[in-house]
């Protein structure tokens, strides 16, 4: 199953949700791949730590290779790295992807990611992290994925932007990827004792939007796990937020 975690707004927890769901998938014996399309590289650093400074090949190299013809092209697997967690792999991002964006878009390389993923039958689950923008890389991910997960951070501005996101997914589905479905909206940073978050959630439910039952609570432990470069299932396996991520994973459609 290929999933894209998508929201045009920054700071909503895309990388955190991507990496923690992927880590739980791996902990259950599923061979799991994270593809980090965000040039900030948060997912790459979360899973690989400071190894990201020493990588020979990244997504920038993969995309650069699509702009030329080679007699001996690299296999997609050559851009993938093992993490310290068994069964968990990552295709890391790189800042140079910003410089390639215009060329890739002008030469219509938007299906290259989908084609490459189509050759990776050995992975049970693939999670794609996206940049906080609607650009070439985000559209590539939406085209390559089966399911879309949308993080929502209980903010009025996030609610206003949510309907635009839904329109974007619908447009990509209609024009490029008829198999794409919205698997659900993840309510992140949910403070159950505060009035506004529950009010916003109730409004989304009233609008008949598909929300996951599991909500992710705010916690300093998540920031600590970022610093330790270990997903919560590794860093704090019995923590409340870890249990929430486990519960969210159970809600995902199984392959």
Q: Specify the CATH number for the domain of residue 174.
A: 3.40.50.300
Query: Which residues are paired to 69 by β-bridges?
Result: none
15 class by beta-carbon count within 10 Å (0-12 exposed, 13-18 middle, 19+ buried): buried
Q: Is the pLDDT of residue 166 over 80?
A: yes
Ranges of H-type helices in the chain? 14-27, 42-48, 59-65, 97-106, 112-117, 136-144, 156-175, 195-206, 220-228, 232-235, 240-251
Give CA angle at 15 (128, 132), nearest 5°.
Answer: 80
Q: Provide mean pLDDT across the span 202-209.
A: 93
Q: Provide mean pLDDT across the span 164-191.
A: 95
Terminal-residue alpha carbon distance, the chain: 6
The mean predicted confidence, pLDDT, of the chain is: 93
In the chain, % helix, strand, coil (3-state, to 5) comes to: 45, 15, 40
pLDDT computed for residue 167 by the predictor: 94
Count structural domains, the chain: 1
- Structural domain of 202: 2-251
Assign 53 a pLDDT band (cuts: 50, 70, 90). confident
Tokens of 251: 């809600």
pLDDT computed for residue 160 by the predictor: 81
- 107: three-class secondary structure by DSSP: coil
pLDDT computed for residue 255 by the predictor: 45
Q: Provide mean pLDDT across the span 129-158.
A: 93
pLDDT computed for residue 251 by the predictor: 96
Q: Which helix (H) or strand (E) holds 34?
A: strand 32-36
Q: Provide mean pLDDT across the span 127-141.
A: 96
Q: β-strand 125-129 against 2-5: which pairing, if any?
A: parallel
Q: Is the pLDDT of residue 71 over 70?
A: no
């Amino acid at each position: 199953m290929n999933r894209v975690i998508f929201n045009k707004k920054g700071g909503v927890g895309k990388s955190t949700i991507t990496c923690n769901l992927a880590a739980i998938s791996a902990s259950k014996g599923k061979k799991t791949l994270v593809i980090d399309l965000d040039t900030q590289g948060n997912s790459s650093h979360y899973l690989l730590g400071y190894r990201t400074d020493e990588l020979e090949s990244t997504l920038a190299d993969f995309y650069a290779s699509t702009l030329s013809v080679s007699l001996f092209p690299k296999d997609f697997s050559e851009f993938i790295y093992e993490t310290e967690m068994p069964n968990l792999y990552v295709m890391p991002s790189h800042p140079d992807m910003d410089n390639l964006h215009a060329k890739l878009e002008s030469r219509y390389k938007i299906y290259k990611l989908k084609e490459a993923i189509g050759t990776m039958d050995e992975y049970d689950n693939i999670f794609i992290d996206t940049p906080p923008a609607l650009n070439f890389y985000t559209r590539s991910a939406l085209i390559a994925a089966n399911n879309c997960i949308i993080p929502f951070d209980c903010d009025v501005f996030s609610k206003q932007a949510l309907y635009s996101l839904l329109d974007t997914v619908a447009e990509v589905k209609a024009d490029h990827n008829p198999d794409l479905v919205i698997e659900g909206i993840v309510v992140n940073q949910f403070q159950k004792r505060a009035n506004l978050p529950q009010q916003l959630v109730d409004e989304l439910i009233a609008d008949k939007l598909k929300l996951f039952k599991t909500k992710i609570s705010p916690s300093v432990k998540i920031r600590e796990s970022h610093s330790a470069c270990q997903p919560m299932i590794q860093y704090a396996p019995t923590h409340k937020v870890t249990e929430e991520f486990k519960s969210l994973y159970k809600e995902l459609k199984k392959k």
